[in-house]
Each structure stands twice: as structure tokens, then as C-alpha cells.
């Protein structure tokens, strides 16, 4: 009886839906979006494709309706003979089409478009319900390895109704090593433990499904200590994944790691000896607190911010670019609160010769570019897409983009499609009825420092975390959105709260991170975490920045590099001018500073880099230099055992194992080329090793 009633209701609902007139925006555009017709790689690209242009992701339905129904004198659709419409013939592959077959001939989507054409291509009522949100069923699930879950996507409409739109939703995963998703929404987990977020997009709205994939087997017991709240949050996540963290790293690994991450330098042999012989329990904390006040710390972190804020001689000139860099470095050296740093940047005015941050507005000059750059750098949010269309994977619309742009545009800002006036308003806030009085940028600066701002403190915390641990809790760090959630949201919230309650003190946050067990965890995996790439269960190998790597080579070999326009013995990290030509720095990924994206700096190893390290005259000349460390050590130290120990301290910040010592001794004694050349060969081999080239 109950089954019969359900069937009757379903048939009634279907007949009711069939009687509803088709609506271009609600029924036709989703089909085009599902099949990629309006993507940026097809007809949605700026110039269109094959003479047919659609708005990207259906962002301008009016223009799309005109393009399909009215352009080409209506040849794309024939109401009298619908199946002869170019839209259907090309889409179904019955006529040559560069994009291939998109619609199954007389399949469900084909028939919807056919019926719409046959009914006279109605635009649809302007007051028809529109999509207000998406939700996915189930919203989350814990799944075993190699398991599957079919997702169902529901759209909620402005009239309170709901509709299953799974067939026309676009799906994407943020962790392909953990879970994949098919175009139809079938999610399948793989063998790696972890968490993945599956995004569904439809009609400019997005929904999220989160899947947790624990390590199989009985619950593992974590016996590692917790040093601060960072460890508590990470351990909670690891327990959910049934993953054990690696052990705490050795003193030598910690020392080298902390020096490189905080100052971009290596510890000297004497510093290493003192640290290794120090028996105090607080020696690691002492090192952290010592490093954070060194001038090398300001050099290192100024370089990072100079990348993001685009200190560039070409648009500024030498003197102005140096003044801009000096403001950045002085701010870091003085430990200027990050909210004050941001405020000075956003509100800078006056003669740029006297106001360092004012040079930003000479590098980035257009209001839209300023809004996009500051959103990306200070908020971690990419809004550039929303200049032309609704962001495909986030909530930002054109009104949000132009609302941010209005802060930097003295003229009245109009929506490019509707021509409605848009007043300055920050991301995620309601647009005011009128434009703020006075300098609108002050309103934006005040909003950034507010404790209820969901972006600024989290972005600062995430960037600092990424600079210290090699990857962000949100990754990429400048792509914060609902569909790219943090790997540990509670930890990111806690770090942001810590930053706010400590008056945006960057040094305190860096010290907190470096003092955690998570930061001090060994890079050697155990059987449970060898596949974990997102949850900080172990240290991750990090390729140092190009400037840091060159400084490591110069420091270890005792021969400084010469840079055009820089003082003698200047470190590469101190060379503020990114346009100084240097083959090594370019080859190893130094950015040109033409964008605000972290991605401009590359850290991925390449064949070119390997060949350069093996054959570079720059490195060979430093190894064999008469005033270099190898020459000096071989002359000063007669005992081979002592020489080998000194070299290991210089290159690896540790003493050799017995096996390593024996191999090195054998090489020194058996070399027919002489002791010094044998030492140079050993130095070349050590410099080309992964242990030297990576921070671990």
C-alpha cells in the first residue's frame, strides 16, 4: 500500500515537472555547464570557439541567450525542425564539432534541449526561482580504503524548493591521492590515509563533501609528547586517521632545520659543537629565541615579503625600490605587528620618497589589480576570476570584486553587466547604502584588523606556518575558499586566535611553531605515516629557496658570491633587487616578482638543476678556491679523522657515522691525486647529496 502511494506521488510530481515550461537559465545553461561547453577551454574562452562565444561558466545568461537564439540569424536553433539545430547536431556529433560529442543522441540532456527549442526557445520568467545554495548528501563520511560513495547534490531555490541536480553538477577533489570523483559524482577512496574535500558546483553555487580515510587496523597509541596546543590539534587529527607521528628529530636535524627556516643560514661548526654538547633541556628553546632576533632573520623574512609585495626595480627605479624594500625589512626587524604592517600598506599616502609602502601603488597601479593583489597577499583570497564572472569554485561574484575595487577607485564604480552602482565593501560583508566618507581605504584597514574578520589573521597564520613547515594548512596558501578547506581547521583557528591575542606578533607565532613537537618531528616516516602528505605526522623534505641554497653553498665553501650593485660578501638573501642577473638564482626558481602569487617562486627539482650542481663552474671554483674552506681546512688540519669531522659539521651540521668516516678515510688515503683534491672530491659529493640540498 505504502509503495503504491509513493509511486503515485512520484508519477504526479514527474507529470507536474513535465508541465512546467522550460527555463533557459534553470534548465538549459546547467546542461551546457555540465558538458563543459561554457568552460574557459571551450566556448567560454575570451574569444569564444569556432565563432560561438558563451559567457564563462554561464556568468551572463542574457548574453548566452542572445548568442544561442539570435546570433547568426537564428541558425543555431530551429524551432520548426529542432533536431536540425546546429546546437544539437554539433553537440551530438552528427556534424563536425571541434569539441567532439558532448550530448548522447536523444539522451536525456539532448531531449531537454530539443524540447526547449521545439517550444520556441523561451527565456523563462524573470521572477522564476533561482539557486541560493547547494548541499551534498551525505555531507561527510568516514570510509575505508578503496571504498565508493555516490554523492547526491541538491540545489535549494529562492522559493524554498529543492531539486536533485547531481547530473548537471561539476565535481572536483582537492586530494587526488586520498579520493577521486567521477563526473557523475561517484567518490572512490584510495590507499593513502587522509582527508579529502569533494566540491560540487552548480549555477554559481558550491557544496562540499568531506571524506575521512583512516589507516586500517586496530587503533594505534601515540606515545609522543605534546609541547603546546599545536601538538594537541595535530594529534587529534592523526588519531582520527589512525596514524602515528614520527619520533622527535635529532638535535642535529633540529639545529639545521631551525637555522634554515628562521634565518636562511646554516649553523657554524662551533655553534653545532656547542649545541650538541649542551645537556640542558631548554637548549632547543634557547636556539629558537636566539635566532628570532638575529639580523639574518629580518633578511630572510624580508625577502619573502618582498616577493609578495613585488619589490621591483623596473617599475620603481633603483632608489624607490630600495626604499620600498627598506620599509619591509625595517618593519620585520622592529617586529612591527602584522596588522599595523597591513594598515600602513593599505593606507599609504604622501611622497613615496618618504613613505616606503606608498611604492606599492607604483608597482600595482590599477584599482582592480590593487584589490586583487591585496586580497591575495593579505587575505589569502583569489578574486581575479570574479572580475569577469562568478568564481567557479567559490562564492565571490562580480559585485564582490568591484566592491573591493571601489576602495581604491576615486570614481563611481559600476557593475559591468547591470550598470548598478557598487559601493566599497570588504569581502563577505554587506554593501552599504552609500560610499564611505573620507579615505575609503581606512575602512578596509579597520576591517582587516577586526577580530571577526575571517581572513586576515588566518591568512597570516597560514603563511607563517607554510614558511616554517614547507606547506600550508590551506594549500595553496593564497587560495582560501570553502572548497579548499584547511587540512586542520581547528589548528588554523587556534593559530589565528593566538596571533590576535598576541597583538599580531609574528615572532611569537614563529617561536610557538618552532617550539612545537610537530615542527620538531623527524622526516623519517614510520609504517603508518609514509603516505601522509597533508597532516604533518612527520617532517617534510623542503628544497630551500634559490637564494638560501646559494648562500648555503657559499657559507659551506667559505667563498662569498659577487652580485652586481651589492656590497662585497652580501648574501643572496640580502639582494633586494630581483632583476639582478644570476644564472644560479634564475635556474633554481627565484621569482621575477611580476605577480603576488606564491607559485611564482618554484621549488621543484629539475634536470637542469641537477646538471648545474654536477657541472657548474661556479661551484667548482668555490670548491677549489685558494681562500675557500677546503683549501684552508686541508692546510690547517693534518689529521684526516679531524678533517672529515670538520667537513661533516660544515656540510651536514653533524658528525659522521662510523661507516661514513671509514669510507671518507679510505678515499683520502687511496686518492692518487693528493689529499687536497681528494678532500675537494669529497666536498663535491657531499654538496650534491640530498642531505645537503634539502632542509629536513
- Going by pLDDT thresholds of 50, 70 and 90, the confidence category of residue 7 is very low
Looking at the structure, tell me whether residues 288 and 317 fall in a common domain.
Answer: no
Mean pLDDT of the chain: 92
Q: pTM for the complete prediction?
A: 0.90
CA count, 13 A, side-chain hemisphere, 302: 29
Looking at the structure, tell me whether residues 660 and 607 fall in a common domain.
Answer: yes
pLDDT in tens, 634-658: 999 999 999 999 999 999 999 999 9
Looking at the structure, tell me whether residues 687 and 575 fall in a common domain.
Answer: yes
d(CA 463, CA 476): 10
| Three-state secondary structure call for residue 409 | coil
pLDDT value for 647: 98
pLDDT in tens, 542-590: 999 999 999 999 999 999 999 988 888 899 999 999 999 999 999 999 9
- Which domain, by its residues, includes 322? 301-449
- The pairing of strands 170-173 and 179-181 is unpaired
pLDDT in tens, 113-139: 999 999 999 999 888 999 999 999 999
Distance of CA 108 to the CA centre of its chain: 39
- Going by pLDDT thresholds of 50, 70 and 90, the confidence category of residue 295 is very high
Q: Which of 413, 434, 449 is the last residue of a domain?
A: 449
Average pLDDT in the 587-595 region? 94
Burial class (CB in 10 A: 0-12, 13-18, 19+), 86: middle
Element (H, E) at 5: helix 2-19
Q: What is the CATH number of the domain that holds 192?
A: 2.60.40.10
Looking at the structure, tell me whether residues 50 and 181 fall in a common domain.
Answer: no
d(CA 474, CA 486): 4
User: Is 356 within a domain?
Assistant: yes
Q: Within a 10 A sphere around the Cβ of 115, how many other Cβ atoms?
A: 13
d(CA 396, CA 201): 13
pLDDT in tens, 261-279: 999 999 999 999 999 999 9
Looking at the structure, tell me whether residues 185 and 143 fall in a common domain.
Answer: yes
Looking at the structure, tell me whether residues 671 and 625 fall in a common domain.
Answer: yes
Share of the chain above pLDDT 90, in %: 79
Looking at the structure, tell me whether residues 90 and 148 fall in a common domain.
Answer: no
d(CA 537, CA 589): 28
Q: Which of 157, 188, 213 is the last residue of a domain?
A: 213
Residue 481 phi/psi, 5-degree rounding, is -160, 165
Looking at the structure, tell me whether residues 555 and 685 fall in a common domain.
Answer: yes
Which residue do the cell numbers 654538547 mark?
A: 277
User: Is 527 within a domain?
Assistant: no
| Three-state secondary structure call for residue 119 | coil
- The count of domains in the chain is 6
User: Is 524 within a domain?
Assistant: no
Flag whether pLDDT at 391 surpasses 70.
no
d(CA 412, CA 652): 60
Q: Which residues pair with 521 in a beta bridge?
A: 248
User: Is 229 within a domain?
Assistant: no
User: Is 526 within a domain?
Assistant: no
- Going by pLDDT thresholds of 50, 70 and 90, the confidence category of residue 441 is very high
Average pLDDT in the 407-423 region? 92
- Going by pLDDT thresholds of 50, 70 and 90, the confidence category of residue 352 is low
Flag whether pLDDT at 17 surpasses 70.
no
Average pLDDT in the 337-363 region? 91
User: Is 208 within a domain?
Assistant: yes
d(CA 675, CA 503): 57
Flag whether pLDDT at 4 surpasses 60.
no
Looking at the structure, tell me whether residues 357 and 432 fall in a common domain.
Answer: yes
Q: Which of 415, 431, 449 is the last residue of a domain?
A: 449
| 11-to-5, 31, 43, 162 alpha-carbon distances in Å | 10, 24, 37, 17
Which triple of cell numbers denotes residue 452?
571577526
Q: Which residues pair with 164 in a beta bridge?
A: 154
pLDDT value for 392: 67
Flag whether pLDDT at 8 surpasses 50.
no
Flag whether pLDDT at 524 surpasses 90.
yes
Looking at the structure, tell me whether residues 275 and 335 fall in a common domain.
Answer: no
Amino acid at each position: 500500500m505504502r509503495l503504491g502511494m509513493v509511486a503515485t506521488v512520484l508519477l504526479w510530481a514527474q507529470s507536474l515537472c513535465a508541465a512546467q515550461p522550460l527555463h533557459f537559465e534553470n534548465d538549459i545553461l546547467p546542461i551546457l555547464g555540465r558538458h563543459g561547453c561554457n568552460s574557459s577551454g571551450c566556448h567560454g574562452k575570451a574569444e569564444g570557439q569556432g565563432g560561438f562565444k558563451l559567457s564563462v561558466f554561464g556568468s551572463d545568461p542574457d548574453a548566452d541567450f542572445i548568442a544561442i537564439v539570435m546570433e547568426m540569424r537564428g541558425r543555431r536553433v530551429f524551432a520548426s525542425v529542432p533536431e536540425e539545430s546546429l546546437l544539437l547536431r554539433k553537440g551530438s556529433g552528427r556534424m563536425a564539432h571541434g569539441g567532439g560529442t558532448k550530448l548522447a543522441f536523444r539522451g536525456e540532456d539532448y531531449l531537454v534541449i530539443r524540447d526547449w527549442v521545439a517550444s520556441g526557445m523561451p527565456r523563462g520568467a524573470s521572477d522564476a526561482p533561482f539557486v541560493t545554495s547547494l548541499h551534498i548528501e551525505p555531507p561527510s563520511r568516514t570510509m575505508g580504503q578503496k571504498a565508493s560513495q555516490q554523492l547526491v547534490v541538491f540545489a535549494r531555490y529562492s522559493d524554498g524548493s529543492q531539486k536533485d541536480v547531481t547530473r548537471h553538477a561539476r565535481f572536483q577533489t582537492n586530494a587526488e591521492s586520498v579520493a577521486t570523483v567521477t563526473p557523475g559524482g561517484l567518490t572512490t577512496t584510495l590507499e593513502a590515509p587522509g582527508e579529502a574535500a569533494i566540491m560540487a558546483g552548480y549555477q554559481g553555487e558550491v557544496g562540499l563533501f568531506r571524506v575521512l580515510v583512516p589507516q586500517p587496523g586496530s587503533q594505534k597509541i601515540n606515545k609522543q609528547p605534546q609541547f603546546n596546543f599545536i601538538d594537541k590539534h595535530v594529534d587529534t587529527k592523526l588519531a582520527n586517521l589512525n596514524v602515528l607521528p614520527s619520533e622527535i628529530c635529532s638535535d642535529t636535524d633540529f639545529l639545521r632545520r631551525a637555522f634554515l627556516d628562521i634565518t636562511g643560514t646554516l649553523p657554524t661548526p662551533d655553534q653545532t659543537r656547542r649545541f650538541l654538547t649542551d645537556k640542558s633541556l631548554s637548549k632547543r628553546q634557547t636556539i629558537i629565541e636566539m635566532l628570532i632576533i638575529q639580523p639574518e632573520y629580518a633578511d630572510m623574512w624580508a625577502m619573502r615579503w618582498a616577493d609578495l609585495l613585488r619589490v621591483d626595480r623596473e617599475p620603481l627605479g633603483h632608489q624607490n625600490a630600495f626604499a620600498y624594500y627598506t620599509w619591509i625589512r625595517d618593519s620585520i626587524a622592529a617586529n612591527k605587528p602584522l596588522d599595523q604592517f597591513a594598515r600602513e600598506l593599505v593606507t599609504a599616502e604622501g611622497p613615496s620618497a618618504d613613505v616606503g609602502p606608498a611604492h606599492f601603488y607604483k608597482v600595482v597601479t590599477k584599482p582592480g589589480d590593487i584589490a586583487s593583489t591585496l586580497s591575495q597577499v593579505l587575505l589569502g583570497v583569489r578574486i581575479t576570476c570574479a572580475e569577469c564572472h562568478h568564481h567557479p569554485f567559490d562564492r565571490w561574484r562580480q559585485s564582490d570584486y568591484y566592491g573591493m575595487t571601489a576602495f581604491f577607485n576615486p570614481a563611481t564604480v559600476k557593475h559591468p553587466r547591470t550598470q548598478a552602482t557598487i559601493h566599497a565593501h570588504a569581502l563577505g560583508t554587506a554593501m552599504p547604502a552609500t560610499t564611505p566618507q573620507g579615505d575609503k581605504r581606512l575602512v578596509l584597514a579597520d576591517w582587516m584588523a577586526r577580530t571577526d574578520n575571517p581572513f586576515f589573521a588566518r591568512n597570516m597564520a597560514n603563511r607563517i606556518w607554510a614558511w616554517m613547515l614547507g606547506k600550508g594548512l590551506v594549500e595553496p596558501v593564497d587560495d582560501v575558499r570553502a572548497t579548499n578547506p584547511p587540512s586542520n581547521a581547528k589548528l588554523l583557528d587556534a593559530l589565528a586566535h593566538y596571533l590576535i591575542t598576541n597583538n599580531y606578533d609574528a615572532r611569537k607565532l614563529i617561536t610557538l611553531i618552532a617550539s612545537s613537537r610537530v615542527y620538531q618531528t623527524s622526516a623519517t616516516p614510520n609504517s603508518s605515516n609514509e603516505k601522509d602528505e597533508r597532516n604533518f605526522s612527520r617532517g617534510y623534505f623542503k628544497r630551500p629557496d634559490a637564494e638560501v641554497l646559494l648562500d648555503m653553498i657559499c657559507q659551506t665553501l667559505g667563498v662569498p658570491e659577487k652580485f652586481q650593485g651589492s656590497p662585497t660578501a652580501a648574501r643572496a638573501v640580502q639582494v633586494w633587487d630581483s632583476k639582478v642577473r644570476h644564472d644560479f638564482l634564475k635556474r633554481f626558481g627565484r621569482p621575477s616578482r611580476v605577480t603576488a602569487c606564491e607559485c611564482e617562486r618554484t621549488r621543484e627539482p629539475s634536470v637542469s638543476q641537477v646538471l648545474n650542481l654536477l657541472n657548474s663552474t661556479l661551484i667548482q671554483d668555490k670548491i677549489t678556491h685558494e681562500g675557500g674552506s677546503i683549501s684552508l681546512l686541508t692546510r690547517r688540519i693534518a689529521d684526516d679523522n679531524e678533517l672529515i669531522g670538520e667537513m661533516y659539521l660544515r656540510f651536514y651540521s653533524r658528525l659522521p657515522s662510523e661507516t661514513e668516516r671509514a669510507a671518507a678515510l679510505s678515499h683520502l688515503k687511496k686518492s692518487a691525486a693528493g689529499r687536497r683534491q681528494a678532500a675537494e672530491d669529497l666536498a663535491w659529493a657531499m654538496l650534491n647529496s640530498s642531505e645537503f640540498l634539502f632542509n629536513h
